Structure 1
Amino acid sequence: MARWEPNARERLVRSAVELFAEQGYEATTVTEIAERAGGLTKTTFFRHFADKREVLFAGQEIHGRIVAEAIAEAPASATPLEMVGLALDGLASSFTEDRRDIGRKLRTVVAHSAELQERSAAKRAALSETMARALRTHGVSELVADLAADLGVRAFYRAFDQWASSADSRTLVEYVPAVFSELKTAVSVLE
């Protein structure tokens, strides 16, 4: 692969995940990632990512935008959980089947690094805050927006983990509503 080939960002992500899975996050250098991505340079890597940790969390801003737009476009009559459901549907549809293997490897890499676990938790919190902000903009009270967003983000990541670790043919779009429904049922029996 030559340096000029398209999709450098995607190639860097795939290379990083592969290398981290093979030799560990701490043992992998940016130079190795760039070289694995088809002879790219460190400079090219840093044009796309601030550091090697960020290569694993690429797309966070896109996910936030998807969630916010889905809630903004929800009908005025939608309940907070219906709006969250629409946001989750939009988010899940952005994950194509080729992301399953990346997700499987990524889960393992993150599980073995305290630094990456911390970054993953921050990413989840940011997605929840984006969702809650969009709900508040749609007229939902702060407390209800926060709770609905937290439930939605929990459902998404639980569904993602199930999807990434499964070998069945169901898509993430099929996993998310089922898990969201399970969590809503669980919440209803808390009283």
Structure 2
Amino acid sequence: MARWDPNARERLGRAALELFVRQGYDRTTVAEIAERAGLAKSTFFRHFADKREVLSGGDVLARLFTGAIAAAPPGAGPLEAAGAALAAAGEQAFTAERYGTVCERQQVIAANPELTERELLKREALVTALTAALRERGVPEPAAVLTAQLTLLALGTALARWTARPGQDFTALAREALTTLRDTAATL
């Protein structure tokens, strides 16, 4: 591939994931990632601060979630808006075409405490973004925070089930998880 190819970020992401799976996260260097992608090491650092960032996907999920919450019909309640956010994730981030990549990413993260810690921090950032989006819809405290937390619990549950069973529809799994969590919370 040419060094000037415009999809450098995606190439670096694919190269990093392939290397992380094959030889381990700790044993992979930025120079190796750049070389595998056919790019210069300096190009890597134009796109990512460090090799942890290459797995983060930026704030794509936050944008999907907050965009879907904002676009939910005006009369939609907090959990309906959360369901729309999970559906958007299923339609764009957790698709059948991305199944293998998502599974590999989860495998690499689970094997590395540093990456697991980073995922927890990203989860908190997602809760903050969801809470803000819900507040903008007029959802009061503590309902906005609780809905954001339930959304992330549903996401985690659906993601675990989806990666464990190929061929499942992520959106259906997320909807089921959110319904179960809502019903469980109602019995407390």
- 2:100 alignment counterpart: 101
Counterparts of 1:1-191 in structure 2, within 5 Å, are: 1-37=1-37, 39-59=38-58, 61-95=59-93, 96-167=95-166, 169-189=167-187, 191=188
1:16 Cα deviation (Å)? 0.9
Query: How far, CA to CA, are the matches of 2:42 and 2:160 in structure 1?
Result: 33
Q: Read off the aligned partner of 1:47 and give its amino acid letter.
A: R
SS at match of 2:34: helix
After superposition, give the CA deviation of every residue in 1:19-53 in whole Å (9 maximum; x if it has no partner). Answer: 1111111110011111112x111111111111100
Query: How far, CA to CA, are the matches of 1:81 and 1:3 in structure 2?
Result: 46
TM-score of the pair, normalised by structure 2? 0.92
Unmatched tracts of structure 1, length 5 or more: none
Query: How far, CA to CA, are the matches of 1:103 and 1:181 in structure 2?
Result: 24
1:121 Cα deviation (Å)? 0.4
1:188 Cα deviation (Å)? 2.4
Q: Read off the aligned partner of 1:172 and give its amino acid letter.
A: F
What root-mean-square deviation, in Å, do the aligned CA atoms of Structure 1 and Structure 2 show?
Answer: 1.5
Query: How far, CA to CA, are the matches of 1:112 and 1:29 in structure 2?
Result: 17
After superposition, give the CA deviation of every residue in 1:137-176 in whole Å (9 maximum; x if it has no partner). Answer: 1111121100000000111122122212322x23322322
Unmatched tracts of structure 2, length 5 or more: none
Query: How far, CA to CA, are the matches of 1:11 and 1:171 in structure 2?
Result: 27
1:120 Cα deviation (Å)? 0.3
Q: Read off the aligned partner of 2:87 and give its amino acid letter.
A: D
Q: Read off the aligned partner of 1:29 and give its amino acid letter.
A: T
Query: How far, CA to CA, are the matches of 1:4 and 1:53 in structure 2?
Result: 24
After superposition, give the CA deviation of every residue in 1:109-155 in whole Å (9 maximum; x if it has no partner). Answer: 11121110111001111111101111111111121100000000111
